[in-house]
Amino acid sequence: MLDIKFIRDNVDLVEDAIKNKNETVNLDLVLTLDKEKRKIQFEYDTLRSEQNKISQQIPKLKKKNKDVSKVIDNLKNYSSKVKILASKLAEVEEQLEKELLKIPNLPNSDVPIGQNESDNKFLRDWGDKRKFGFQPKKHLKICKEQKLLDIKRAAKISGSGFVGFQHKGAKLARALINFMLDYHIEKHNYKEISLPVIVNRKTMTGTGQLPKLADDMYHIEKDDLFLVPTSEVSVTNLYSGEILGLEDLPQKFISNSLCFRREAGSHGKETKGLQRVHQFSKVEMVKFVTPDTSYEVLDDLLNDAEDILQALELPYRIISLATGDLSFASAKTYDLEVWAPATERYLEVSSVSNFEDFQARRASIRYRDVNGNVQFVHTLNGSGLAIPRTFIAILETYQNEDGTITIPKVLRPYFNNEKIL
CB 148 within 8 A of CB 166: yes
pLDDT for the residue numbered 264: 60
CA 351/CA 349 separation, integer angstroms: 7
Sequential DSSP letters for 342-385: TTTEEEEEEEEEE-TTHHHHHHT-EEE-TTS-EEE-EEEEEEEE
Domain of residue 307 covers 117-420
Q: Residue 154 belongs to a domain with what CATH number?
A: 3.30.930.10
Q: Which one of 8, 262, 276, 317 is the catalytic residue?
A: 276
With contact defined as beta carbons under 8 Å apart, do 280 and 228 qualify? Answer: no
- Entry pTM: 0.93
Respond yes or no: is residue 276 known to be catalytic: yes
110: in domain: no
Mark whether 348 is an active-site residue. Answer: yes
Low-confidence ranges of the chain (pLDDT < 70): 264-271
What is residue 266's predicted lDDT score, i.e. its pLDDT? Answer: 56
Please name every residue paired with 379 in a beta bridge, in sequence order, or none if there are none: 288
CATH of the domain at 72: 1.10.287.40
Calpha distance 87→296 (Å, rounded): 46
* DSSP per-residue letters across 135-170: -PPPHHHHHHHHT-B-HHHHHHHT-TT---B-HHHH
Catalytic, out of 232, 255, 257, 261: 261
Report how many domains make up the chain: 2
Residue 148 has a CB neighbour count (10 Å cut-off) of 23
Three-state secondary structure call for residue 92 = helix
> Do residues 205 and 237 make contact, with C-beta atoms less than 8 angstroms apart?
no
273 conformational bin, left if phi > 0, alpha if psi -120 to 50, beta if neither: left
Same domain, 208 and 337: yes
Single out the catalytic residue among 232, 327, 389, 396: 389
Q: Please tell me which residue in 43, 50, 93, 348 is annotated as part of the active site.
A: 348
- Whether 111 is in a domain gets the answer no
What is the predicted pLDDT for the residue at 338?
98
- The answer to whether residues 134 and 87 belong to one domain is no
Of the candidates 281, 351, 353, 383, the residue annotated as catalytic is 351
The pLDDT value recorded for residue 66 is 78
